[in-house]
């Protein structure tokens, strides 16, 4: 407990000290964090949901359909809605009218600037702000915002990764207004900005961002789904779009700790840290009462998100101490992706306001659970509703079974791609650890649905209708249960009643990649199914059932091996998966090369989602990110080991040695066990740091796959050796000398 009151509540690194010499130690930061927790008071006036009901706040800062309807001439509004809801071409003539209405609305709400927001391949959000004001030549200024300013921007794109698509001398990149994602106002204490979601492309029209392929893949999915629906007699043409509901897990720790850990604030995860005496073994955090300061943060963050039209639904404590989850209601894929990005920004900003750091890394702390972003995925349209809803008539059963089988086929066929789109240096620490899905992609269907598909598999042709069983003719299938079986937490890809939940996605990743992959592989599967059925039926509806039965049987026989309902963590599954020929790509270095797989390349090209050049650029960028991330971590490991941990260890060693020498002088025997242990650990620390330093001095090559393998095989193990010595030292060195906040402090002081 603090002897003197410490009042620092913000960046505590170096600002408080409990030791002579001014060095900031773990314990001084601990005091600051304790003060921040115990002295926590809401800074502004409390939020008041009585005077301003939550319902009135929702979408208050969005240029929503309602606002458009109110402010736009009817034909313009109608035309825009056609584009947004039915995917119709955007009428270029309406730009000026929309821009003017948008500007008036934004300025009335206090906006001074507008910004095109885009989503470069870094996985982050980028924005370029421009003032509405232009000098009028008479010494004053007028607010201006034209259709062309709304529709197109030209940020200097040269500093964003393009993976060789565009050299810096041809840096031209364009941002293009995405009408399907509404503009919104981003508030800051000192001003408001009108934000316009955009796609980011090169001057040759190649996608330099994450949004463009999401939009393209949505189009591909719609096209193929329409063909399938037509076979079932549904020809209303209502746009089929994929839906996504991402559940975001994250950690919160006091900012005093965060800034006292160079590994956390630079790399997002701790590179050192002995396991705390108490971890998550009591399961006492999951769904537990939310600490006051954390709840205050959640309420404010959710209010901000609500104003932005992001429909937050759920919040709760997660499994690890200091871990939480937030989930919105699902939306169409493109909108959900934009909202997800915005949500991460808002959460991080609001957390800082409450003196906490928001950690989105997949594995900020080893030994306790990591964070994922479960992406719930389905497809549907305004008139059909959810196409993965089993429904309760035989007819919709048949349709459901076909859509579901198409997903099964797609996931089996493109396991490599699905694994590659969740591959990152951060997610490697999570996937395959005994808390997150294994690196093997498989589908959990639940017992009942599996049973139905098993019977279809053995069902053969429609001629062999056996009374009373499910084995044949889809017409005789009974209504399927809505909740098709139990839950399974170990599966990377689980059917959860009316959608699939892709659980392998990392907490820090954009959901764009996973959605692009899902949309495209399912589009391909639907294409395959539609083609087969069109041929077999020759347009005759009466032949559909027979053809369908045959197709479903074939799909299940060829692709059913992707279904696994058991324990994904078990050793047996790894063996079994290998027998089934399923991929087990343990690291990003193993998985990313699948982006250059010939079948994957042909797939993305065929459905106009990514050209071979665009795909190659992504392969290059993601590999480079993997390599750079590990290199940064390695340099940090070396730096922290050398300049923080080693000095602390030798100081303690010195203290022990002089105690020993002094005691000897007065004739007392000193047990040197601890001194010996410290001495030997200091030696290991020195040796392992030296080995890592040597690796860091190595000359790299231009072959990124080779560099990635080097990082995986050499650099990461060398870092772990340094960590092993350091973590053991942490358990012996005097607490007041230890330079880094400990796991115990970071996870439990809140
Ligand atoms: P759990 O933690 O039990 O998996 P949550 O309630 O935390 O469930 O999250 C479920 C998510 O799935 C929510 O974001 C929800 O909106 C989303 N979801 C529900 N139906 C669909 C659907 N048809 N398509 C996509 N996502 C959906
Ligand atoms: Mg959940």
Give the C-alpha separation, 316 to 290, whole Å: 7
Give every CB contact of residue 285 below 8 A, 6+ residues apart in sequence: 317, 318, 319, 320, 321, 322, 323
Is residue 328 over pLDDT 60?
Answer: yes
The predicted pLDDT at position 558 comes to 96
Provide the CATH number for the domain formed by 219-610 in this structure: 3.30.590.10
The predicted pLDDT at position 396 comes to 60
Cβ of 329 below 6 Å from ligand 1:
yes
**Interval 429-465: pLDDT, tens:** 999 776 778 899 999 998 878 888 887 887 643 333 3
Look at 359 and 286; give whichever has higher pLDDT: 359
Nearest alpha carbon to residue 275 among 655, 748, 674: 748
Nearest alpha carbon to residue 297 among 262, 263, 255: 255
Residue with tokens 């699902």: 330
**Interval 56-92: pLDDT, tens:** 899 999 999 999 999 999 999 999 999 998 888 888 8
Across the range 26-52, mean pLDDT stands at 78
**Interval 604-629: pLDDT, tens:** 999 999 999 999 999 999 999 999 99
Cβ of 339 below 6 Å from ligand 1:
no
Model confidence band, residue 487 (pLDDT cutoffs 50, 70, 90): low
Q: How many CB atoms are closer than 10 A to CB 668? A: 10
Substitution candidate for ligand 1 out of 240, 241, 247, 437 with most atoms within 8 A of CB: 247
Model confidence band, residue 361 (pLDDT cutoffs 50, 70, 90): very high
| Of the candidate ranges 8-12, 557-561, 639-643, the one whose mean pLDDT is the lowest | 8-12
User: Separation of 498 CA from ligand 1 center, angstroms?
Assistant: 9
The predicted pLDDT at position 394 comes to 58
| Residue 326 Cα distances to 107, 493, 531, 552, 673, angstroms | 32, 20, 41, 37, 49
Greatest distance between any 2 Cα atoms in the chain: 104
Phi-psi region of 116 (alpha: psi -120 to 50; beta: other; left: phi over 0): beta
How far, rounded to the nearest angstrom, does the alpha carbon of residue 273 sit from its chain's CA centroid? 25
The predicted pLDDT at position 649 comes to 97
The predicted pLDDT at position 40 comes to 79
The predicted pLDDT at position 24 comes to 52
The predicted pLDDT at position 154 comes to 82
Would you state the structure tokens that stand for residue 689, as one six-digit string?
A: 């740091």
Cβ of 372 below 6 Å from ligand 1:
no
Give every CB contact of residue 642 below 8 A, 6+ residues apart in sequence: 689
| Beta bridge partners of residue 172, listed in sequence order | 156
With contact defined as beta carbons under 8 Å apart, do 507 and 371 qualify? yes
**Interval 680-707: pLDDT, tens:** 999 999 999 999 999 999 998 999 999 9
User: Separation of 361 CA from ligand 2 center, angstroms?
Assistant: 17
Would you state the structure tokens that stand for residue 86, as one six-digit string?
A: 């039915």
Across the range 654-676, mean pLDDT stands at 96
Cβ of 376 below 6 Å from ligand 1:
yes
Is residue 378 over pLDDT 50?
Answer: yes
Nearest alpha carbon to residue 423 among 343, 333, 513, 500: 513
| Of the candidate ranges 276-290, 551-565, 614-628, the one whose mean pLDDT is the lowest | 276-290
Instruction: Please give the share of the chain, as a percent, with pLDDT higher than 90.
Output: 69
Is residue 11 over pLDDT 60?
Answer: no
With contact defined as beta carbons under 8 Å apart, do 567 and 490 qualify? yes
Cβ of 328 below 6 Å from ligand 1:
yes
Give the C-alpha separation, 101 to 563, whole Å: 52
At the second CATH level, the architecture of 626-748 is Up-down Bundle (1.20)
pTM for the structure as a whole: 0.92
Is residue 482 over pLDDT 90?
Answer: no
Q: CA angle 618-622-121, nearest 5°?
A: 60
- Identify the three-state secondary structure at position 68: helix
Look at 228 and 397; give whichever has higher pLDDT: 228
Q: Tell me what the pLDDT averaged over the chain comes to.
A: 88
Burial letters for 463-502: b for 16+ Cβ neighbours within 10 Å, e otherwise? eeeeeeebbbbbebbeebeeebbeebebbbbbbbbbbbbb
The predicted pLDDT at position 478 comes to 52
With contact defined as beta carbons under 8 Å apart, do 185 and 115 qualify? no
Give every CB contact of residue 191 below 8 A, 6+ residues apart in sequence: 110, 111, 112, 113
Across the range 336-352, mean pLDDT stands at 96
Substitution candidate for ligand 1 out of 245, 373, 495, 501 with most atoms within 8 A of CB: 245
Model confidence band, residue 471 (pLDDT cutoffs 50, 70, 90): very low
The predicted pLDDT at position 6 comes to 33
Would you state the structure tokens that stand for residue 102, as one six-digit string?
A: 């948008």
The domain spans of the chain are 1-39, 72-207, 219-610, 626-748
Is residue 19 over pLDDT 50?
Answer: no
Nearest ligand 1 atom to the CA of 386 is: 23
Among all ligands shown, which has an atom nearest to the Cα of 518?
Answer: 1
Cβ of 243 below 6 Å from ligand 1:
yes
The predicted pLDDT at position 470 comes to 33
Q: Would you say the C-alpha torsion 175, 71, 337, 269 has a positive or negative sign? A: positive
Across the range 152-170, mean pLDDT stands at 71
Provide the CATH number for the domain formed by 72-207 in this structure: 3.10.20.70
């Amino acid at each position: 407990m603090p002897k003197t009151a410490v009042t620092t509540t913000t960046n505590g690194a170096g600002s408080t000290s409990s030791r002579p010499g001014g060095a900031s130690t773990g314990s001084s930061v601990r005091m600051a964090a304790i003060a921040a927790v115990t002295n926590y008071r809401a800074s502004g006036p409390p939020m008041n949901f009585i005077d301003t009901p939550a319902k009135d706040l929702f979408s208050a800062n969005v240029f929503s359909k309602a606002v458009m309807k109110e402010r736009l001439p009817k034909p313009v509004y109608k035309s825009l809605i056609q584009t947004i809801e039915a995917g119709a071409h955007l009428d270029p003539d309406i730009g000026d009218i929309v821009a003017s209405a948008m500007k008036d609305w934004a300025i009335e709400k206090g906006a001074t600037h507008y910004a095109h927001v885009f989503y470069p391949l870094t996985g982050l959000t980028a924005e370029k702000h421009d003032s509405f004001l232009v000098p009028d030549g008479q010494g004053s200024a007028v607010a201006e915002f034209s259709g062309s300013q709304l529709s197109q921007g030209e940020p200097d794109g040269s500093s964003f990764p393009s993976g060789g698509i565009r050299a810096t001398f041809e840096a031209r990149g364009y941002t293009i207004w995405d009408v399907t994602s509404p503009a919104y106002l981003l508030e800051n204490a000192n001003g408001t900005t009108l934000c316009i979601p955009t796609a980011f492309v090169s001057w040759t029209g190649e996608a330099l961002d994450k949004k463009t392929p999401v939009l393209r893949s949505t189009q591909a999915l719609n096209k193929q789904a329409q063909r399938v629906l037509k076979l079932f007699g549904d020809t209303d043409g209502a746009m089929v779009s994929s839906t996504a509901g991402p559940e975001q897990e994250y950690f919160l720790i006091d900012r005093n700790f965060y800034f006292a850990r160079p590994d956390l604030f630079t790399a997002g995860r701790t590179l050192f840290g002995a396991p705390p005496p108490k971890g998550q073994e009591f399961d006492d955090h999951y769904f537990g009462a939310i600490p006051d300061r954390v709840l205050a943060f959640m309420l404010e963050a959710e209010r901000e998100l609500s104003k932005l039209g992001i429909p937050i639904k759920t919040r709760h404590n997660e499994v690890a101490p200091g871990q939480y989850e937030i989930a919105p209601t699902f939306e169409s894929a493109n909108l959900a992706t934009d909202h997800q990005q915005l949500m991460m920004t808002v959460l991080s900003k609001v957390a800082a306001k409450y003196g906490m750091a928001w950690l989105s890394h997949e594995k900020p702390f080893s030994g306790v659970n990591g964070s994922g972003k479960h992406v719930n995925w389905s497809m549907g349209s305004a008139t059909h509703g959810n196409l993965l809803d089993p429904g309760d008539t035989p007819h919709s059963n048949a349709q459901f079974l076909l859509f579901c089988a198409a997903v099964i086929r797609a996931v089996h066929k493109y396991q490599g791609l699905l694994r590659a789109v969740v591959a990152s240096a951060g997610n490697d620490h999570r996937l395959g650890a005994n808390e997150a899905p294994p690196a093997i992609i498989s589908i959990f269907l639940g017992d009942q649905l599996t049973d139905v598909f098993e019977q279809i598999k053995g069902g053969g042709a429609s001629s062999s209708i056996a009374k009373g069983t499910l084995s044949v003719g889809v017409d005789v299938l009974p209504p399927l249960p809505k909740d098709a079986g139990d839950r399974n937490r170990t599966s990377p890809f689980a059917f959860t009643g009316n959608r699939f939940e892709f659980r392998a996605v990392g907490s820090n990743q954009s959901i764009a990649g996973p959605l692009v992959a899902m949309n495209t592989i399912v589009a391909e599967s639907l294409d395959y199914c539609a083609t087969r059925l069109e041929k077999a039926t020759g347009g005759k509806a009466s032949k559909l059932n027979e053809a369908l039965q045959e197709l479903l049987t074939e799909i299940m026989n060829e692709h059913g091996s992707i279904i696994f309902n058991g324990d994904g963590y078990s050793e047996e599954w790894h063996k079994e998966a290998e027998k089934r020929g399923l991929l087990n790509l343990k690291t990003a270095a193993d998985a990313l090369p699948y982006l250059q797989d010939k079948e994957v390349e042909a797939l993305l090209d065929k459905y106009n989602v990514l050209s071979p050049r665009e795909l190659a650029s992504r392969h290059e960028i993601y590999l480079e990110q993997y390599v750079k991330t590990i290199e940064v971590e390695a340099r940090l490991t070396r730096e922290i080991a050398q300049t923080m941990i080693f000095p602390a260890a030798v100081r303690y060693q010195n203290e022990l040695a002089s105690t020993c020498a002094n005691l000897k002088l007065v004739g007392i025997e000193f047990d040197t066990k601890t001194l010996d242990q410290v001495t030997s650990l200091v030696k290991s620390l020195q040796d392992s740091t030296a080995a890592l330093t040597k690796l860091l001095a190595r000359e790299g090559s231009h072959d990124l796959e080779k560099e990635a393998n080097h990082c995986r095989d050499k650099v990461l193990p060398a870092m772990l050796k340094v960590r092993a010595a350091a973590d053991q030292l942490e358990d012996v060195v005097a607490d007041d000398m230890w330079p880094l906040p400990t796991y115990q402090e970071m996870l439990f002081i809140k």
